[in-house]
Structure 1
Amino acid sequence: MIGVRQFRWPDYDAVAELWKSAGRDVLSRHELETKLLRDPQLFLVAEADEAVVGVVLGTYDGRRGWILRLAVDPTRRRHGIATRLIGELEQRFTALGCPRVNLLVLPEDDGALRFWQALGYLPFPDVLCSKPMAAPR
């Protein structure tokens, strides 16, 4: 049975390994500490047999929710884990009064785009702009 719950610090190593196995960059402990000051209830893990098998990082800025870093253990994909994680995250966004949720999908990732569209997320023709900021001194 798959359970979904809020991330706890003892989960960090398992989450980092999961991100690596899914081809995602690993967020440092420092970066997560900063994020968790804002909305820790939006960082979720899925577990089975006491092992972390999925993870999603959400954030809410008071206007929009964002879904970031969804990853599922490659050996456990296509078993509804991602859908369960997103369902729980959406419930938590709703409880916060979040009116809209955004996410980014790489344009060449057809499988991901189909997954998100099946959950009701629609592509927008926005252009992503990004600027790296210098670390504080």
Structure 2
Amino acid sequence: MNQPADIVIRPARVEDIPVLLAFWAEAGENHGRPVDNAPVVEALLSRDPDALIVAELGEIIVGTVIAGWDGWRAHLYRLAVAPDHRGRGIARLLLEDAERRLRSLGAIRFDAMVLATNSAGASAWAAMDYHPQEEWVRWVKRATTEASSD
């Protein structure tokens, strides 16, 4: 694996939000999810400043993952790597940092939300020893009645 030595892993900052939204529009799995917006990301950072982890190359964000902890369960989502930086170990670095964070908070198991049609994402998760749990089905409901693109 050709892993860049100059990747910096750090928590996202409020000033990163516009860049993150543009990054996810290009690199994220966006099908089947509500549209991301600045107030939602800012609320996440306000509630849990270390939950959103970014990978930077130089001063450019090339990867993200959200390591959510609700005090009981550990949830991983929004794993994304810039298309021209995939295959270089960035997802692994992000997940290792996320898992370390969640373990320190008391997590004993991690779960990841991955679209069933996201084969690139499935490969990344499988490479880190994650596997689908076939006996579970995710059920969702919109929190608002407003029309959205989810």
User: After TM superposition, is the score higher than 0.5?
Assistant: yes
Match of 2:140 in 1: 130
1:117 is matched by which residue type in structure 2? Answer: A
Match of 1:88 in 2: 97
Q: Percent identity?
A: 34
1:21 is matched by which residue type in structure 2? Answer: E
Alpha-carbon distance in 2 for matches of 1:48, 1:72: 12
Contact 1:63 1:99 in 2 (8 A): no
Report 1:63-78 matches (<5 A).
Answer: 63-78=72-87
2:11 is matched by which residue type in structure 1? Answer: Q
Q: Which runs of 5+ in 2 are unaligned?
A: 1-5, 146-150
Deviation at 1:23, TM superposition (A): 4.4
Cα RMSD of the aligned pairs, angstroms, is 1.6
Alpha-carbon distance in 1 for matches of 2:139, 2:53: 27
Match of 2:3 in 1: none
Contact 2:65 2:80 in 1 (8 A): yes
Structure number with higher relative contact order (C-alpha < 8 Å, ≥ 6 residues apart):
2
Match of 1:8 in 2: 13
Report 1:21-100 matches (<5 A).
Answer: 21-25=26-30, 27-100=36-109
Match of 1:19 in 2: 24
2:38 is matched by which residue type in structure 1? Answer: R
TM-score by length of 1: 0.89
Secondary structure of 2:87's partner? coil
Aligned length: 135
Q: Which runs of 5+ in 1 are unaligned?
A: none
Alpha-carbon distance in 2 for matches of 1:104, 1:48: 26
